[in-house]
A = this chain, B = another copy of it.
Amino acid sequence: MSALPLRSRTLRGSVASIGEEALIRRIRAWLGAASPPPPAGIGDDCAVLRPARGRELLTVDPVVHGIHFDGRITPRAAGAKLLKRNLSDIAAMGGRPRAAVVAIALDGRVSTRWLAQFYRGLAEESLRRKVPIVGGDVTRLPGSFVATLALTGEAAGRVLTRTGSRIGDWIYLTGSVGRSLPTGHHHRFEPRLAEGAWLARRGEVRAMIDVSDGLAKDLAALTPRGAAPAIHAARLPRRGGASVREALCDGEDYELAFTVAAGARRSALEAAWRRAFPRTRLSCIGRFTRVGAVPADALPLGGFRGYEHLR
């Protein structure tokens, strides 16, 4: 892991050398068209938005230097990742993103050039997804860099939650899992917004989750009481030569796992998916069985742990 790019705080080129007010002006310039003028954007005590249509969604996720990214990826990719992590959470409810606020806490010695690239990456993703950055905060944090983004969204129709699956339901997964870090997927992924919204309109889909802490851990959150997921290793779509353990535990997949009613016409769902998303892989990886009735050839998921952030 490489260290933060720090400069002497008294030297030109550090954020401390320009001070907070000038830095905020620069951040607005770096964000450019991604940051609307106040009161709809940065520059007042709060941003003022039109209310959500349907139900409102709200989520928050950070990127921390040394944890979610480091010098092995560009600051531009890290800025984009900050927004994309949160977009993935909106996707998992079948929602549409609306607007974001971003609070950064950073060492005064961080180089403005590095920070400019971080915000430019965030701005590019913001414009691509039409999610304006409407507010934020800048504060001092000796020795570290933490950027926290809160994102609001809306769901005009059904909101897909993690609950509602039943014994017998089929378990599906978009894309593939495992080896997110070595393959660069952890920052190159595309949040499954279109797929999530499409799935929320399909009545046979019962529940959905964003796979970000490792499939083994995240599947547990979809599993109804009294049930266990029976997943077959051969059906696991593994990324970049991942082992079964890597596919189940690595984390940062940002794929959608969802369940389909036992009696649904799966072939119709799968055919409709292929028409709507010809380039997004969809795999049926197993189904929920009663606890104690998991077939002998299914993966013993209890033996796999997902990513634990504090260990």
A→B interface (CB under 8 Å): 15-16, 19-21, 23, 38-39, 43-62, 64, 66-68, 88-90, 92-93, 95, 99, 101-103, 105, 108, 134-144, 146, 148, 150, 152-155, 159, 161-163, 209-210, 217, 308-311
Contacts and interface: CB of A to CB of B under 8 A. Distances in A.
Contacts of A43: 162
Given A16-B311, A146-B146, A310-B138, A57 B67 contact: no
Given A60-B102, A152-B152, 4 more contacts: A45-B92, A49-B52, A49-B57, A60-B137
A163 to B, nearest CB: 8
A223 to B, nearest CB: 14
Nearest to A91: B45
Given A45-B210, A89-B46, A148-B62, A308 B38 contact: no
Given A52-B51, A67-B141, A310-B19, A45 B93 contact: yes
Nearest to A92: B45
B59 A139 contact: no
A68 B66 CA distance: 23
Contact of A60 (B21, B51, B66, B135): B135
Contacts of A20: 308-311
Contact of A51 (B53, B88, B163, B217): B53
B101 A67 contact: no
23 contacts: A16-B311, A19-B311, A21-B308, A23-B310, A38-B161, A39-B93, A39-B159, A43-B162, A44-B93, A45-B93, A45-B162, A46-B58, A47-B58, A48-B57, A51-B56, A56-B152, A60-B135, A61-B103, A105-B148, A108-B311, A142-B144, A148-B148, A150-B150
B66 A46 contact: no
A44 B90 CA distance: 10
Contact of A44 (B66, B150, B161): B161
B93 A140 contact: no
Contacts of A53: 51
A21 B20 CA distance: 37
Contacts of A60: 101-103, 135-137, 148, 150
Contacts of A21: 217, 308
A137 B58 contact: no
A275 B189 CA distance: 58
Contact of A50 (B56, B93, B137): B56
A153 B49 CA distance: 10
Contacts of A148: 60, 62, 103, 105, 146, 148, 150
